Structure 1
Amino acid sequence: MNPVSEITILRRNIFTKVARRALNRPLDQGPSSIDMAALVKELIPDGPARYRCCIYKERAIVEERIRIVIGEAKTSPITIISEACNGCSLNKYIVTDACQNCVAHPCRNSCPKKIISVIQNRAFIDQNSCVECGKCAKACPYNAIIEITRPCERACTIKAIKVDDSRKAVLDMDKCVSCGMCVTVCPFGAITDTSQMLNVIDSLRKQEQPRVAIIAPAIAGQFGPKVTPGHIKSALLRLGFDRVVEAALGADQVAKEEAEEIKAHYDAGLMTNSCCPAYARAIVQKMPELTGNLSACLSPMKVVGQLVKKQYEDKVTTVFIGPCIAKKAEAADSREIDWVLTFEELAALLQAAEIDPAAQLPADMQDASPYGRLFARSGGVSAAVQRHLSGILVDISQVQGLSQCLTTLKLSAKKTDGNGFTFIEGMACEGGCIGGPGTMVSPAVAGRALEKYAGPLDTAKERDDSQITA
């Protein structure tokens, strides 16, 4: 999650102003009817530039952002706004004051281009000729040569972001898993995700078929300490949804099914969860040989979407609301979910519609068990699965962050020897879903709110006895 920076404020202002215009435009007019010039000028008024070299560049960037939000700019789930990318003109390897001008000069000897010299008792790198191989930094016994990595590159575990000849970031969508980490770390706001907010608004206004909102359990605490998921449910019903269902309902089902998978394939010795789409896609791309160890279960989002579609005989629009950008890519590859909103987009939509969640009477929320709701935090998946494995010995590993997830899975696969079973719970985001890129509060705050929303774990058995329906 980004802190509330100038970038965050600008992004949320764009969402809100676009949503307000979309809610008030005639039904027979599309997004192109929005007065782009007026909206851009409203967001970036006349006067001195605040962020860039001039207001004209600021307006050009904002206009591109608006086009992405309204769907005019056809982009991938995550896209880089070239005009907004600063180019980060950084020298990747720099010699620091820790250089001792040692006699051996391992940095100079290791350089394949021979472009390191010693000037005034200190190593000097010819940056015009440096190919950024990093061999000098690895060779220095004093760690006196440091590597400065661009934020977007550093955040991308699977190396989907590279830098072109003009030093601007380029995203390889064949590698990208849509985790959204690059979106949260870019200090220039040059990386963004596509929005389906206007699609949701059109569905709500046209009322061509029932609309069902499926809310992720991580929504607890996102709209303030006094706003419960029950308040959000009431706000969504007032917004125009016909029904609101907890995604945690699907989590309860997934926990049971993954436990059955472990029992059926215990001899395999290793399994990992499939509910995190970024993690699951990373396994497919980076470790295809281990896809057989990936649970075959649908994600909780898809499970609930499937139930809803079945109940309405496919004559329904399903909208998932959660903290995850990767869910947009997951939904695009399936038929269970029609549209996806992040919590930020929902907040903008409610503000544009002048609906204050805190002012609503909280609706009843009884779809899921505490275990299903706790899927949203690290450790929640394994706890829910483990309670269905009575008498079966399973070694549990709970891992956060794509890099750690993939490393743990790889090491565990090497250790599999037919004795015992390991279940790896992998979450791409730190803290689990409550740390997703579409959230609005810190994982610590969200975690406390989630525990309160989940309720006592000893109520789980009573809810398990009820029929799972949407």
Structure 2
Amino acid sequence: MGLIAVKEANCKNCYRCLRGCMVKSLKYKGNKMDVIEDQCILCGNCIVTCEQKAKILVNDEARIRRMVEDPDTRTVVSLAPSFIAAYGQDNRNRLVGALKKLGFSFVEETSIGASEVTRAYRDLIEEGRMRNILSSCCPTVNMLIAKYFPDLLGELAPVITPAETHARMIKKHYGEDTKVIFIGPCLSKIHEAGESDYLDGALSFGEINNWLEERAIRVEDSEVMDFDKHSGYSRIYPIENGILYDLKQKDAKNTYDYLAVSGLENVKALLEEMQAGKIEKAFVEVNACTGGCVNGPLMPGGRQSFHRGRIQVDKYARHPIGEDAPVKVGMACHHKEEMVEANIPGEATIRAILSQIGKPTPEQELNCGSCGYPTCRDKAIAVYQGKAELHMCMPYMFDMSQTLANVTLSVTPNYIVAVDEDMKIKECNLSAQALFNVTRNEALQKYIFDFIDHSDFIQVMDEKRNLYDKKVSFENLGITVNETIIYVDDQNIAIGILQDITAEEEAEQKQYDLKMETVEMAQKVIDKQMVVAQEIASLLGETTAETKVTLNKLKDLIADGNEK
């Protein structure tokens, strides 16, 4: 597992971390950014620039705590000299007391090792055999060269870092079983500790602060204790030009031009110039962090006060108490190549990718950088490499959404109008413009009550509650609509969607009129039939009576005849 993890729920697709990553060692997939570990140089910019705190440090802090709290284990702090910027000059010796209260056996400054590194640089300068000499103190810069400028490894000083030097000195002095823990503001130092045979772990100032807080230890209230060993002027290392200042203190014979370069973009530009052969016989102090280690990615409170920190470190370094005699250790190293394969597609492939997002020609490449890549071509290459998704293009997605919105608003037969709290029209679609018989510009100078009854809009704005499917007739316009009005809280506007149902209403009225006409006709038939029935009944009644009389007479005649 790498040192940087991503909280998926916090990642908001803003591409800010990608914009801050000089080597683009991030992969966008599944709506979040992941770190590509073998391409990362651990500059920590993605942690610093992520406002959503989606990038977090992953460290084996629990293992280090167990080591320190074990009474049978001797642990020594190698404290980065940038601690002055983090805790202040007044707390210098109180911090030593606080660290020992946590359980550390001894506390020393990493600048003890830095002093020996300066001597090694001085020897290289005096030998004068290297074309250029790049300082090797910053692990991030070392990784940048090994992965992306491997042909310059021969110009990287073959000298271990101050932290590694100090760790070797500590183990030689206190015993090989001693555990050495580096404390500082640097992410790549944690990686260095994981790769080292001498450093047993590394913690950030922030992790130390959390530990102190858990133990209810305040640095300001801790016992004043001196460092177990003293360092000299090499405390100047954390600020830009610090190594160069220290070299001058060590009386190096200056056969090289001196140059200090800090900040990854500047370092990259330097390395490109060196690749092109434009720089000869220069000793270059290189630092990934702008202004030096006092601007490290894991400084407490971020990078808001690094200028003040530079002043504090400078004052602290210029008044050394005295330097203990160094413990001599081997300091030579061989920097290994770790080149990242570029895997660049051909021109036809790049053009085909760009064409899919509306950029078939170079003239249509905006190179706005909103996706996190400096140019549209770089983004297309990242898509080909599987590091980016095709539609990570904000101008394209904006144009697409605008097109879809405009088409939707234009073709819909519904009348759509948005008003503010004063009932002034803020927007309206083509259908509404046609209904009101105005242009858009004319409509935006009017109020909704200039055209229709606005009482429902007033109600929605006052109550901040939506109104759905209310049938309303606007007699002045000769229409009937189903009215839906939506309140938009963040913009404090009301959007009315008026569905014209005039034709349906007219059809329904016609159907009703037809039904009523049919009912009336049926009633007339019924009434006529009732008259006829009554007349028939009357006639039937008369004929029935006459028939009865006749039949009775006939019966009597027959009866009389039989008697005779």
Alignment of 1:353-432 (within 5 A): 353-365=215-227, 367-415=229-277, 421-432=281-292
Instruction: Verify: 1:201 aligned to 2:65, yes or no.
Output: yes
Alignment of 1:157-196 (within 5 A): 157-164=22-29, 166-196=30-60
Match of 1:317 among 179, 182, 189: 179
Letter in 1 for 2:18: E
Letter in 1 for 2:165: V
Aligned position for 2:75: 211
1:73-127 superposed Cα distances (whole Å, 9 cap, x missing partner) = xx31122222321233xxxxxxxxxxxxxxxxxxxxxxxxxxxxxxxxxxxxxxx
Unmatched 5+ residue regions in structure 2? 329-564
Instruction: Verify: 1:251 aligned to 2:114, yes or no.
Output: yes
1:126-170 superposed Cα distances (whole Å, 9 cap, x missing partner) = xxxxxxxxxxxxxxxxxxxxxxxx210111111101322x44212
User: What is the DSSP-based 3-state SS (H/G/I as helix, E as strand, rest coil) of the residue aligned with 2:137?
Assistant: coil
Letter in 1 for 2:98: A
Aligned residues: percent identity? 25
User: What is the DSSP-based 3-state SS (H/G/I as helix, E as strand, rest coil) of the residue aligned with 1:305?
Assistant: helix
Alignment of 1:34-433 (within 5 A): 75-88=1-14, 150-164=15-29, 166-223=30-87, 226-228=90-92, 230-264=93-127, 266-365=128-227, 367-415=229-277, 421-433=281-293
Cα 1:417–1:77 change in 2 (3 A) is closer
Indicate if the aligned counterparts of 1:81 and 1:190 stay in contact, CA closer than 8 A.
yes
Cα 1:298–1:246 change in 2 (3 A) is same
Q: Report the count of equivalent residues.
A: 325
Indicate if the aligned counterparts of 1:221 and 1:449 stay in contact, CA closer than 8 A.
yes
Distance 2:310 2:261 in 1: 17
TM-score, normalization by structure 2: 0.55
Cα 1:225–1:332 change in 2 (3 A) is same
Distance 1:256 1:225 in 2: 27
Distance 2:26 2:62 in 1: 28
Letter in 2 for 1:280: N
Aligned position for 2:300: 440
Cα 1:391–1:225 change in 2 (3 A) is closer
Aligned position for 1:33: none
Cα 1:308–1:224 change in 2 (3 A) is closer
Indicate if the aligned counterparts of 1:409 and 1:424 stay in contact, CA closer than 8 A.
no
1:285-340 superposed Cα distances (whole Å, 9 cap, x missing partner) = 00000011111111111111111122333211111100101101111111111111
Structure in which a larger fraction of residues adopt helix: 2
1:347-386 superposed Cα distances (whole Å, 9 cap, x missing partner) = 1111111111111233224845443101011110122124
Aligned position for 1:468: 326
User: What is the DSSP-based 3-state SS (H/G/I as helix, E as strand, rest coil) of the residue aligned with 1:320?
Assistant: strand
Indicate if the aligned counterparts of 1:82 and 1:168 stay in contact, CA closer than 8 A.
yes
Letter in 2 for 1:403: E
Indicate if the aligned counterparts of 1:319 and 1:341 stay in contact, CA closer than 8 A.
yes
Indicate if the aligned counterparts of 1:231 and 1:362 stay in contact, CA closer than 8 A.
yes
1:45-79 superposed Cα distances (whole Å, 9 cap, x missing partner) = xxxxxxxxxxxxxxxxxxxxxxxxxxxxxx31122
Distance 2:311 2:130 in 1: 37
Distance 1:234 1:408 in 2: 42
Indicate if the aligned counterparts of 2:122 and 2:253 stay in contact, CA closer than 8 A.
no
Letter in 1 for 2:258: I
Cα 1:188–1:215 change in 2 (3 A) is same
Cα 1:392–1:221 change in 2 (3 A) is closer
Distance 1:392 1:400 in 2: 21
User: What is the DSSP-based 3-state SS (H/G/I as helix, E as strand, rest coil) of the residue aligned with 1:217?
Assistant: coil
Distance 1:447 1:429 in 2: 13
Structure 1 residue 178 displacement after superposition: 1.0
Which segment drifts farther, 317-326 or 362-371? Answer: 362-371
User: What is the DSSP-based 3-state SS (H/G/I as helix, E as strand, rest coil) of the residue aligned with 1:178?
Assistant: coil
Aligned position for 1:100: none
Indicate if the aligned counterparts of 2:85 and 2:294 stay in contact, CA closer than 8 A.
no
Aligned position for 1:53: none
Aligned position for 2:531: none
Distance 1:455 1:428 in 2: 24
Structure 1 residue 275 displacement after superposition: 0.7
Letter in 2 for 1:162: K
Cα 1:368–1:382 change in 2 (3 A) is farther
Distance 1:367 1:207 in 2: 22
Distance 1:311 1:369 in 2: 15
Aligned position for 2:471: none
User: What is the DSSP-based 3-state SS (H/G/I as helix, E as strand, rest coil) of the residue aligned with 1:340?
Assistant: strand
Distance 1:267 1:455 in 2: 32
Distance 2:121 2:255 in 1: 15
Distance 1:243 1:227 in 2: 17
Structure 1 residue 236 displacement after superposition: 0.9
TM-score, normalization by structure 1: 0.65
Distance 1:387 1:448 in 2: 19
Indicate if the aligned counterparts of 2:44 and 2:187 stay in contact, CA closer than 8 A.
yes
RCO (CA 8 Å, sep 6+): is it higher in 1 or 2?
1
Cα 1:269–1:390 change in 2 (3 A) is same
Distance 1:271 1:78 in 2: 31
Which segment drifts farther, 150-159 or 202-211? Answer: 202-211
**RMSD of aligned Cα (Å):** 2.1
User: What is the DSSP-based 3-state SS (H/G/I as helix, E as strand, rest coil) of the residue aligned with 2:244?
Assistant: helix
User: What is the DSSP-based 3-state SS (H/G/I as helix, E as strand, rest coil) of the residue aligned with 1:364?
Assistant: coil
Cα 1:262–1:368 change in 2 (3 A) is farther
